[in-house]
A and B are shown apart, each in its own frame.
Chain A
Amino acid sequence: GQQVMQIPQYQHVQEGEDFTTYCNSSTTLSNIQWYKQRPGGHPVFLIQLVKSGEVKKQKRLTFQFGEAKKNSSLHITATQTTDVGTYFCAGNFGNEKLTFGTGTRLTIIP
């Protein structure tokens, strides 16, 4: 089936350290999106990647889409307490629904 796997499930980092979460699909993705969900909140769109090998940056966040369009990563440089939350990748497989990964929950140790 069309599934999106995400690792790690949890990540605890000291404030100021970097953080990376990885997303993998067994089949080629049409595009991939990333969302952030704060504790008690709802998913909020961060970015969409469409092209093979695409890299996009948003301030301290760097998003990559693999050459084969089967994997993606989100890297946060120098984490801050405001980065706390769960980060989800979500893949489009060329149909009209978005398939979410299991998420990586980021906690920051001040």
Chain B
Amino acid sequence: DTGVSQNPRHKITKRGQNVTFRCDPISEHNRLYWYRQTLGQGPEFLTYFQNEAQLEKSRLLSDRFSAERPKGSFSTLEIQRTEQGDSAMYLCASSSRRAGPNTGELFFGEGSRLTVL
């Protein structure tokens, strides 16, 4: 399968614990995005990487959230000291667009669903 891969698909954790999600984009896609989606809402932008550089972060991304893409390939999204309000689907997407503004078509993974008890 050459699509965007995310794991784990589901994560249940207790409030205060740390969680980490991994995203493997389509190979050779140099742009990688993280979105968060809650029930009945559209995906909300969290952050974006061009290769290994994190170029934009949403104000939604508090200091408990950190994302990395160390070698410009896979990415991780870590949430520290989880809160119940962090419960959501965390979606990763990649794009083959190489330069200029605008995203191009986004290819989404299946998402990682987080439930904070």
Which positions in A face B, CB cutoff 8 Å? 6, 30-31, 33, 35, 41-45, 48, 88, 90, 92, 94-103, 105
Q: Separation in Å of the B28 CB from the closest CB of chain A?
A: 18
Residue pairs across A and B with CB atoms within 8 Å: the count is: 65
Given contacts A100-B43, A101-B42, A103-B41, contact A33 B48 (CB under 8 A): no
- For the complex with contacts A31-B102, A42-B111, A97-B56, 9 further pairs of A-B residues with Cβ separation under 8 Å are A30-B102, A35-B106, A42-B91, A43-B108, A92-B101, A92-B103, A94-B102, A96-B48, A98-B45
- Number of chain B residues whose Cβ lies closer than 8 Å to a Cβ of chain A: 25
Which positions in B face A, CB cutoff 8 Å? 31, 33, 35, 40-45, 48, 50, 55-56, 91, 101-111
Specify which of A30, A43, A45 is in contact with B43 (CB 8 Å cutoff): A43
Report Cα–Cα, A42/B91, bound state, in Å. 8
